[in-house]
């Protein structure tokens, strides 16, 4: 975690009228929520008081460049403040949880930038997007593991004493098994069935229909016409539906994905000993992302949990009821309370 302090910690009393900003910055969109700084720790998702919510475009620096990313972040934060009838002088803490921020040097550059936007004594936290996703499930407490399976996949864990570990999250060339991985396997199965290397599968009929092409030969042109991973990952519902209808090839692909996703969680939990020395302690597992959502007959997240619980029976699955931007804000709030207690106690 990259934390940064402009000056002395504000006294808890000074939080009256102050606000906290939580930002979830992604490649598709950026969301900023504004929460009252003086709120008590929320008991339940419904009890979070959100003053305002603003939305903007991409803030992944790897995608649009650093200047454009910072401009988007500033704009969405200022908009949230205006919508909450306040301004930058009221800001007590900000948590930026932004995709594409992985290295400590990335964190430091964002901290150096953000501390010039807000009051001297405000607190700033810069995290990668997995951290806000975890906090969105644990209501701001940084403990446990989060599994995100959207276009890519990542397992990310944090211990009570702040040790972190991750597995996967390296993109499809390096073995991620999110939506892109699942869909690429399905496309490969269609090609193999077509050229005689693989068994027949209904995926051929279903994918051809979905893409409105006339033959598997046209898949090659389709696949390389656009390098966007999300475009390929959008075929996951076709795979799930074929598996639900009993297609063997589609079922094998989903079972492989379940295995890979479960292994990434098991690796993180093992490295952090999140399950205690005897491997039986309870630990929260937050599940996020399109591949793990939905009320489908073929329940990918249910199967992943089954798989993990064979190794670590103490796994406690959580499906977040608040969005990652709120997770980021709760995280800032939780850090703030902890630091204030430390200061008051010292």
Spatial strand order in the sheet of 123-127: 2-5, 123-127, 91-98, 19-25, 30-36, 52-56
Q: Is 63 in the site for its own copies (CB under 8 A)?
A: no
* Candidate residues 17, 87, 220, 280; the one interacting with its own copies per rule CB under 8 A: 220
**Of residues 226-255, which lie at the interface with its own copies (CB under 8 A)?**
227, 232
**Of residues 258-287, which lie at the interface with its own copies (CB under 8 A)?**
263-264, 267-268, 270-271
What is residue 87's three-state secondary structure? coil
Q: How far apart are CA 106 and CA 103, in angstroms?
A: 5
Q: Is 165 in the site for its own copies (CB under 8 A)?
A: yes
Near its own copies by CB under 8 A, which window of 38-46, 81-89, 182-190, 336-344?
182-190
95-122 b/e (C-beta count within 10 Å ≥ 16 → b): bbbbbbbeeeebbebbbebbbebbeeeb
* Candidate residues 184, 233, 236, 286; the one interacting with its own copies per rule CB under 8 A: 184
Q: Is 215 in the site for its own copies (CB under 8 A)?
A: no
Q: Is 105 in the site for its own copies (CB under 8 A)?
A: no
Q: Is 191 in the site for its own copies (CB under 8 A)?
A: yes
Q: What is the DSSP letter of 292?
A: G
Please name which of 158, 182, 200, 202 lies closest in space to residue 303, comparing C-alpha atoms.
182
Contact 95, 329 (CB under 8 A): yes
| Bridge partner residues of 124 (DSSP) | 4, 94
* Binding-site size, its own copies (CB under 8 A): 30
87 vs 195 by CB, closer to its own copies: 195
Q: Which residues bind its own copies (CB under 8 A)?
A: 102, 165-168, 170-171, 173-175, 184, 187-188, 191-192, 195-197, 219-220, 223-224, 227, 232, 263-264, 267-268, 270-271
């Amino acid at each position: 975690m990259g934390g940064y302090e402009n000056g002395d910690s504000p006294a808890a009393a000074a939080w009256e009228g102050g606000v906290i900003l939580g930002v979830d910055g992604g490649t598709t969109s950026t969301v900023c929520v504004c929460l009252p700084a003086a709120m008590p720790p929320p008991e339940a998702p419904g009890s979070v008081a959100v003053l305002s919510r603003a939305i903007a475009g991409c803030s992944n620096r790897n995608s649009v460049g650093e200047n454009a990313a910072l401009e988007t972040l500033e704009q969405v934060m200022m908009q949230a403040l205006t919508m909450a009838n306040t301004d930058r002088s009221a800001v007590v803490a900000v948590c930026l949880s932004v995709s594409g921020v992985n290295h400590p040097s990335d964190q430091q550059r964002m901290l150096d930038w953000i501390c010039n936007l807000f009051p001297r004594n405000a607190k700033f936290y810069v995290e990668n997007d997995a951290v806000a996703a975890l906090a969105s499930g644990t209501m701001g407490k940084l403990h446990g593991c989060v599994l995100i399976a959207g276009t890519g996949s990542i397992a990310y864990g944090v211990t009570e004493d702040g040790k972190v570990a991750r597995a996967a999250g390296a993109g499809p060339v390096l073995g991620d098994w999110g939506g892109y991985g699942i869909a690429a396997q399905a496309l490969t199965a269609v090609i193999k069935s077509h050229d005689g290397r693989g068994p027949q599968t209904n995926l051929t009929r279903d994918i051809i229909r979905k893409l409105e092409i006339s033959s598997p030969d046209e898949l090659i042109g389709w696949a390389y016409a656009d390098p966007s991973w999300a475009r390929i990952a959008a075929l996951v519902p076709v795979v799930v539906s074929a598996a639900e209808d009993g297609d063997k090839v589609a079922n094998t692909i989903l079972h492989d994905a379940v295995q890979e996703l479960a292994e990434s969680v098991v690796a993180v939990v093992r490295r952090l000993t999140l399950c205690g020395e005897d491997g039986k302690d309870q630990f929260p597992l937050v599940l996020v992302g399109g591949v793990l959502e939905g009320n489908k007959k073929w329940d990918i997240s249910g199967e992943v949990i089954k798989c993990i619980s064979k190794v670590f029976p103490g796994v406690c699955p959580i499906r977040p009821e608040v969005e990652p931007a709120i997770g980021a804000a709760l995280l800032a709030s939780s850090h703030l309370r902890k630091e204030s207690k430390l200061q008051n106690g010292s």
